[in-house]
Each structure stands twice: as C-alpha cells, then as structure tokens.
Amino acid sequence: MALPNVMNTGRTGMMAAKANITTTGHNITNSTTEGFSRQRVHNEANAPRSSHGKNLIGDGVTPKRTMRVNDEYLEKQVRNAGRDLANLEEKDMALKQTEDIFNEMGGEGLNRLMSKFFNEFRKLANEPENEAIRQSVRESTLSMANDFRRIRKEIGEVSRHIDSRIEGYAKEANDLGEQIRDLNLRIKQQEVGGLNPNDLLDRRDLALKKLASIVDVTSFKDKEGMVTVEIRGVGPLVVGAAAEKLEYFRAQGTEDGAPENSLQLRTSGSVSPTITASVKGGKLGGLLEVRDRTLSTVLGRLDELAYGITDSVNQIHRQGFTREGFQGVDFFKPIEGGVERASEFIDLSDAVKSNVNFIAAGAEPDAPGDNRIAIALSGLQGMKLMNGGNATMDDYFNSIVSDVGVFTARNRENMNQSKDIVNQLGKLRDQISGVSIDEETTNLLQYQQVYDASAKVIQVADEMLKTVLELKR
C-alpha cells in the first residue's frame, strides 16, 4: 500500500472520531431536553485495497449515518400512559373543586341547614303562637334556599372553569396538529435527500405525546414516513401535509348531560355538528366526563331534592290554616317548570316572606294551640320521600355528598397508580433512549483517543514519506 493511502486511512479515522465527538457533544447538551433520544454514529469499514496479489489491506472507516436510539413500541406505551394520567389529573382537579362545595367543616352546609329547617318546625309545634319562632322558621328556610342556590351557582362556576380549560386545550391541540403537519413535511424532505432527521423525529414524537395527553389519538406512518393522526371515535386530525382544527362553540344543553350554554367541540372537517360526546381520554375527555356526567348528575339530584322539599312541604302546608284563618297558602313558591333547575328557583312564597303569620301551624281555623300541621311538616324529615320512596331527604343529600367523595377518592387512587406506571415507563425509556452523562463522558474520552491515534497514523506516514524522499537524494 502506498504511503498516501496510509495517510488517507488516518484521515478517515480522524473524520469518524470527529463525527462521534460531535454526536456525543450533541447528546450531552441535550441531556435535559424533553423528548430527546440519544444518538449514535454507525461507522462502516471502507472496502479494502488489494496489495501484492491476493493480500487485502483495510482502507479506513466511513461514518455512514447517525441514528437515534429509540423504541417505537415503548414510545407508544409512554404516550398511552401519559394520556391516562392526564385524564385522571384533570378529573381530580374538577372533582376536588366539586367536593369542596359540599365541605361543611368551615360552617353550616346544606345538610345542617335542612336539619335546622325541620327543627324549627318542631319548635313551632311546641309553641305555635310564638312569633319569634315563626321568624326563625322563615329565616332558616331562607338560609336553606340560599344554600341550594349557592351550591348550584358554585357547581356552575366549576363547569365554566372546565369550559375555559377545554377552550385552552383545544387551542393547544390545534397548535400541536400544525406542528406535526409541518414536521411531516420537513422530515419527508430530509429523508428524500437521504438524510436521517433524528431531531425532527424526536420533536414529532414529543408533539404526538403532548397531543395524546389532550385527547385520545391513534397514529400511524404512511409509506412516505408521514404520520397520520386520528382522534379515536371522531376522525382524522392530521393527514400528511394537511391538518384539521378543533373548533369550539357555545350550545344549548344536550341529551348527553352538557349544561346550557356549555362549550361544545367539532372538527373543521367533520360533517357532524358536534363531536363532544365522542371525545374520550386525555385532558379533554376527563373534563367533559366530569362536566357532562358527574356535575350533571349532581345538579339533577340536587334539583330533585329541592323540588321534593318544595312540593312535599307545600302539599301539607296548603291543608293548614294561617293565623288569619286562610287555607291553601303555599309555604314555598311553586316551581312551575318541574324538577329541572328547582335548586335555582326554590324560595319562600311571597306571602310567608312578607308576613310570618301566613305560616300554617294548625289543621283547623281559629285554634290557637293547634300544632298538627307543624308536626306533620317536621315529620317530613324522617319520611322516605326520595329515590322512589327508598330514602329520606337527609339520606338523599348525604348520598350526593358521598358519591362525590367516592368518585374523587377512586379517581385519586387510579391517578396514583397511573403515576407509578408513567414513572416506570419513563425509567425504561431513559434506559434505552435517555442520555447518561457518565457514559457520554467515557465515550468522549474514547473518541478523543481515537482521534489522537488517527492523527498519529498520519504523522508516522508523513515521517515514512520523508525517509523515502531522503533515500532518493
């Protein structure tokens, strides 16, 4: 082999070492970059040269390609686990806010106010002519009605907070869809040119992971390597170089339980007027589930309780006589619209609100000591009038509070389990794709030695060439 060929061998070694050093430095500088996969240079020995007949002598090395160390199946598992955790975290936030509404630790809640309401009628039964007790009955009723409205209002505020988060996540999903579309184009362009767009592939995987945390999506690559993203149960969001958008709008309440004037979703390419009921998983799915199922159920049961109290009390109160001798007076304002929104409309009748003497305590007119109506009204507390005759009013309200607590606790337990799964998968990914500073530092020193040794090959070849030239002199 000619001495220049020896120099070329050393040169290729320096070039390969330089490529490895550059890649190692790239790994180190991105060791804390989210979604980054460590990269490795794949070197390939050059075809040997023939020398002195059949003898073949190596001709150095060529850094063929730089590849990322990545497991697509594991990445999919990480995405799915992140989607489930994000779903549970959003539900936990909304359920915690709902649970706090029913928290009676800091003062009188609806349960205590309901008990006080019936207790005041018991006091009235003992002293039916006592005007101070009648005023207490009126005040306790107003407090109870106000708390019904407070709970409904605060649940509505939770629902509106959920709507604001839905709007924000829809915008984020649109941005991520556009990122994936743009990355599809750039990756295809580089791959057509024979390049390995490792960093772009990492960025696309990260965008997919973030999108999956917002809504349940499926993805697959076409024959050109471009990713198609579909919202599960809805349709495509990104197809190659095209991206649809999640649109949001206000609408009336739906059969799925969405409250009036709530935020609904659709895609720009969908023929369906709304896809809200089809959106599952991720942050959006979790928020919609709490808003349209949990909160809707709580409000519905609260309305049933308010209507049950209003209707049952009025039925008995109309049978009694006021101190002025009137019969048929409503204690509560009749709720004309039925059960729906009863917790918003529950209120004292105008007659009782203006004059406590319109509270009927007796079953006969002009009977000052008659307390039969007051006793009957206080007895409503222990009667099973709710849930098809299977629960008292106290039991029914306690079941509402209990269900919210159970939902919250169960969701939190699942969330903690999901966090463990995400952490385990994250560790697995780090073992495969993560950057180890210790390992990269060791590699850096190794490649530096290879570079120095390759330079030494060139130096030795140069000295050998000088020796040959001096012989000719």
End-to-end alpha-carbon separation of the chain, Å? 22
Q: What residue has token string 């995987």?
A: 205
Contact status, residue 220 vs residue 227, Cβ threshold 8 Å: yes
User: Is residue 51 predicted with pLDDT exceeding 70?
Assistant: no
Contact status, residue 118 vs residue 381, Cβ threshold 8 Å: yes
Choose among 321, 393, 314, 376: nearest CA to 348: 314
User: Is residue 468 predicted with pLDDT exceeding 90?
Assistant: no
What does each C-alpha distance from 186 to 29, 180, 192, 226, 229 come to in angstroms?
Answer: 23, 10, 10, 10, 17
Rounded mean pLDDT of the chain?
Answer: 91
What does each C-alpha distance from 205 to 57, 71, 170, 193, 209 come to in angstroms?
Answer: 44, 11, 19, 21, 6
Choose among 372, 351, 364: nearest CA to 321: 364
131's tokens: 């005007």
What does each C-alpha distance from 2 to 8, 50, 52, 300, 460 come to in angstroms?
Answer: 10, 11, 11, 91, 13
- Residue 53: band (very low, low, confident or very high) from pLDDT cuts 50, 70, 90: low
Contact status, residue 46 vs residue 60, Cβ threshold 8 Å: yes
User: Is residue 247 predicted with pLDDT exceeding 60?
Assistant: yes
User: Is residue 143 predicted with pLDDT exceeding 60?
Assistant: yes
Give the pLDDT of residue 1: 52
Q: What is the pLDDT of residues 443-458, one digit of tens each?
A: 999 999 999 999 999 8
Q: What is the pLDDT of residues 372-386, one digit of tens each?
A: 999 999 999 999 999
Contact status, residue 309 vs residue 141, Cβ threshold 8 Å: no
Q: What is the pLDDT of residues 384-428, one digit of tens each?
A: 999 999 999 999 999 999 999 999 999 999 999 999 999 999 999
Q: What is the pLDDT of residues 305-364, one digit of tens each?
A: 999 999 999 999 999 999 988 999 999 999 988 999 999 999 999 999 999 999 999 999
Give the pLDDT of residue 464: 85
The rounded distance, in Å, linking the Cα atoms of 374 and 324 is 16
Half-sphere exposure (Cβ direction) of 224: Cα atoms closer than 13 Å: 15
Q: What is the pLDDT of residues 28-41, one digit of tens each?
A: 999 999 999 999 99
What does each C-alpha distance from 401 to 118, 132, 158, 301, 310 come to in angstroms?
Answer: 20, 33, 16, 11, 20
- Residue 107: band (very low, low, confident or very high) from pLDDT cuts 50, 70, 90: low
Average pLDDT, integer, range 241-254: 83
Is the full-model pTM beyond 0.85?
yes
Half-sphere exposure (Cβ direction) of 106: Cα atoms closer than 13 Å: 4
- Residue 57: band (very low, low, confident or very high) from pLDDT cuts 50, 70, 90: confident
User: Is residue 260 predicted with pLDDT exceeding 80?
Assistant: no
- Residue 133: band (very low, low, confident or very high) from pLDDT cuts 50, 70, 90: very high
